[in-house]
Structure 1
Amino acid sequence: MPTQFDYRHTWSFPADEVYPTMVEADFLRARLEQIGGPGAALLEHSVDADGARYRLRQGVDPQNLPSLVRTVLPGDVVIEREESWRRDGPGSYTGDTRVTIPGTPGSATGVMRLRDAGEGSELHIRIEVTVKVPLIGGKIEEMVTGQVTGLLESESTFTQDWLARRR
Structure 2
Amino acid sequence: MARSLEHRSTYPQPVDTVYSTLVDEGFLTDRLRAIGGKDAALLDHTRTGDAVAFTLRQGVDAERLPSAARSVLGGDLVVERAERWRPDGSRYAAETSVSISGVPGSIRGQSRLGEHGGESLLVVRAEVRVSIPLVGGKLEKVVVEQVTKLLATEAEFTEKWLAERG
Amino acid at match of 1:129: V
CA RMSD of aligned residues (A): 1.1
SS of structure 2 residue aligned to 1:96: strand
Alpha-carbon distance in 1 for matches of 2:117, 2:45: 31
Which aligned pairs between 1:3-14 and structure 2 lie closer than 5 A?
Answer: 3-14=3-14
Q: Deviations over 1:74-124 (max 9, x none)?
A: 11111100000011133x001000000133213201011011112211111
Alpha-carbon distance in 1 for matches of 2:102, 2:69: 14
Structure 2 gaps, min length 5: none
Alpha-carbon distance in 1 for matches of 2:10, 2:137: 29
Amino acid at match of 1:6: E
* Number of the residue aligned with 1:128: 127
Residue 110 in 1 paired to residue 109 in 2?
yes
Amino acid at match of 2:57: R
Return the offset for 1:143: 1.3
* Number of the residue aligned with 2:146: 147
Residue 100 in 1 paired to residue 130 in 2?
no
* Number of the residue aligned with 2:160: 161
Moved >2 Å (runs of 4+): none
Amino acid at match of 2:113: L
- Identity rate, percent: 49
SS of structure 1 residue aligned to 2:95: strand
Alpha-carbon distance in 1 for matches of 2:48, 2:104: 34
Amino acid at match of 1:117: H
Contact 2:8 2:124 in 1 (8 A): yes
Which aligned pairs between 1:37-116 and structure 2 lie closer than 5 A?
Answer: 37-90=37-90, 92-116=91-115
SS of structure 2 residue aligned to 1:123: strand
Amino acid at match of 2:112: R
Q: TM-score, normalised by structure 2?
A: 0.96
Contact 2:128 2:144 in 1 (8 A): yes
Q: TM-score, normalised by structure 1?
A: 0.95
SS of structure 1 residue aligned to 2:75: coil
Alpha-carbon distance in 2 for matches of 1:29, 1:106: 27
Amino acid at match of 2:111: M
Return the offset for 1:50: 3.5
Return the offset for 1:8: 1.1
Structure 1 gaps, min length 5: none
Alpha-carbon distance in 2 for matches of 1:161, 1:106: 33
Return the offset for 1:7: 1.1
Alpha-carbon distance in 1 for matches of 2:105, 2:71: 13
Which stretch has the larger CA shift, 144-153 or 4-13? 4-13
Which stretch has the larger CA shift, 31-40 or 72-81? 72-81
SS of structure 1 residue aligned to 2:37: coil
Return the offset for 1:62: 1.3
